[in-house]
Amino acid sequence: MTGRVGRRDGHAEAVLRFFDERAPVWSAKYAPDGALMGRLASLSDAVGRYVQAGDRVLDLGCGTGELTRALAKGGLRATGCDISPQMLRRAASERGGCAGWVQLEPDWRALPFTSAAFDAVVAASVLEYVAEPAAVLAECARVVRPGGVVLFTVPDLRHPVRWAEWLAQVPLAPGAASFSVRWNRYRAYLRVSRQRHRHRWWLAMSASAGLRPVRCPRRAARSPLRLLVFRRADLTGSQAVTAALIVDAGRARIGGAARFLDEGSQR
Ligand SMILES: C[S@@+](CC[C@H](N)C(=O)[O-])C[C@H]1O[C@@H](n2cnc3c(N)ncnc32)[C@H](O)[C@@H]1O
């Protein structure tokens, strides 16, 4: 592949700066009373449903590496990668039994791993920041083995927090709220967290990458993030061409019609 994700308008660099600045405080979110502690448990459980001890897992956009280390602790060969040097430096400062930490170019187009290198890929709260989710999903599908799983979370548009995001786009009177540090932080987040799509859009993007949806556990409490789980399909050459044509002909429609794999029949 050629070209680089997000180079056109500097989006990838803006995302990198955003997370480099937040790196010093990111781990605190995973403290026992931190905002992300519950998420760590639910994501580890979710990944654990689809893998076996010793499986190779890539944590794409690993941040400070809490999930990567939790997966390694659970007996998986976990590798973390990220575009933010500051996030990754903190992740790598504690090896935690992980297989490795990999620095990505901010506008990477190809992941630096061989095809089918992993049994599972997880991307927790990452795709909302990338300029071209379809290109990233295609790479996730390439580096996972046929039949392997790809799990990712995306903003859930059904959650009230997401409705508030629309309101935040409404221009305020000049000067209003600009004094508020929290408001400015929120606006900065919305500038880099761009990808807001319906469920069927994510299904269509994943389908075009050769990923087929798998039923996944429902979370007890409504969350602003939705977990989606896929398996890399084993398409023959002609099936792959047909699927690509169908997806091109009507991305939204194929997303709505995507069938869930029966998890019971997969293992
Ligand atoms: C919201 S944080 C989530 C971090 C970690 N997954 C977690 O759940 O704690 C998003 C992470 O994705 C990384 N990221 C953003 N765009 C990326 C890309 N294109 N490739 C890899 N990592 C990316 C950021 O640097 C940041 O560390």
In this prediction, residues 65-71 reach a mean pLDDT of: 97
Which pLDDT band, with edges at 50, 70 and 90, does 241 fall under?
low
Distance of CA 154 from the midpoint of ligand 1 (Å): 12
* Candidate of 4, 82, 151 to mutate for ligand 1, largest count of ligand atoms within 8 Å of Cβ: 82
Distance of CA 62 from the midpoint of ligand 1 (Å): 6
Q: What is the pLDDT of residues 102-114, one digit of tens each?
A: 999 999 999 999 9
Distance of CA 126 from the midpoint of ligand 1 (Å): 5
C-alpha distances (whole Å) from 157 to each of 24, 149, 224, 244 are: 29, 24, 8, 27
Atom number of ligand 1 nearest to Cα 84: 25
Residues 6+ apart with CB under 8 A from 237: none
With a cut of 60, say whether residue 20 has pLDDT above it: yes
Pick the closest to residue 15 from 154, 184, 155, 129 (CA basis). Answer: 129
Residues 6+ apart with CB under 8 A from 95: none
In this prediction, residues 9-20 reach a mean pLDDT of: 95
State the Cα–Cα distance between residues 78 and 93, nearest whole angstrom: 15
Share of the chain above pLDDT 90, in %: 66
Which pLDDT band, with edges at 50, 70 and 90, does 168 fall under?
confident
Q: Which two tokens stand for residue 39?
A: 């998420």
With a cut of 60, say whether residue 243 has pLDDT above it: no
Domain formed by 11-158+189-259, architecture: 3-Layer(aba) Sandwich (3.40)
Which pLDDT band, with edges at 50, 70 and 90, does 263 fall under?
very low
Pick the closest to residue 121 from 261, 259, 229, 37 (CA basis). Answer: 229
With a cut of 50, say whether residue 247 has pLDDT above it: no
pTM of the model: 0.85
Please report the pLDDT score of residue 191 as a whole number: 93
In this prediction, residues 249-266 reach a mean pLDDT of: 35
Please report the pLDDT score of residue 186 as a whole number: 87
Share of the chain above pLDDT 70, in %: 79
Which pLDDT band, with edges at 50, 70 and 90, does 259 fall under?
very low
Highest mean pLDDT among 6-10, 163-167, 244-248: 163-167
β pairing state of 144-155 and 225-232: antiparallel
Q: Which residues line ligand 1 (CB under 6 A)?
A: 15, 19, 60-63, 66-67, 82-84, 87, 104, 124-126, 129-130
Which pLDDT band, with edges at 50, 70 and 90, does 164 fall under?
confident
Spell out the domain ranges in the chain.
Answer: 11-158+189-259
User: Which residue shows structure tokens 């991307």?
Assistant: 123
Q: What is the pLDDT of residues 71-88, one digit of tens each?
A: 999 999 999 999 999 999
